[in-house]
Amino acid sequence: MAVAQTAQITFLRPAPIGVTVRAEAVERVRQGRFGVYDVTVRQAGGALLAEFRGHSVLLTGAPATDHLPTRAEDQTAATPIPTTATATDGGPDGSRS
């Protein structure tokens, strides 16, 4: 099982309510039990909303050595994982900060 070790989010601008946003995640590195991930969040029109960087650690099981990039793959190891969502009016409890 992998869990978050650290995470940092830089919010650059708010998303207007009801606007669809797109998050593109890239696994930068997975080495042994550790991984580094970057996520860019953009408004549907392309405006940059937020940047995220997360580090994960594998708690159980064998190290993920089958995912280590070779030297040639190291230059092109970034794999985009597209995701979309719609901005809502507040957090899980409906509050706004």
Let me know if residue 62 belongs to a domain.
yes
Give the tens place of pLDDT for each residue, 60-81.
Answer: 765 556 555 555 554 444 555 5
pTM over 0.75: no
User: Does residue 94 belong to any structural domain of this protein?
Assistant: no
User: Bridge-partner residues for 37, per DSSP?
Assistant: 27, 54
Among 4-18, 32-46, 55-69, the minimum mean pLDDT is found in: 55-69
pLDDT-derived band at 94 (thresholds 50, 70, 90) equals: very low
Domain annotation covers residue 75: yes
pLDDT at residue 97, rounded to an integer = 41
Residue 65 domain-assigned? yes
pLDDT of residue 45: 87
Whole-number average pLDDT of the chain: 78
In a domain? residue 46: yes
- The CATH number of residue 24's host domain is 3.10.129.10
For residue 76, the enclosing domain spans 2-86
Distance between CA 97 and CA 93 in Å, rounded?
A: 11
91 within a domain of the structure (yes/no): no
Q: Is residue 38 part of a domain?
A: yes
Where residue 61 falls (left for φ over 0; alpha for ψ -120 to 50; beta otherwise) is left
Domains contained in the chain, number: 1
Within a domain: 97: no
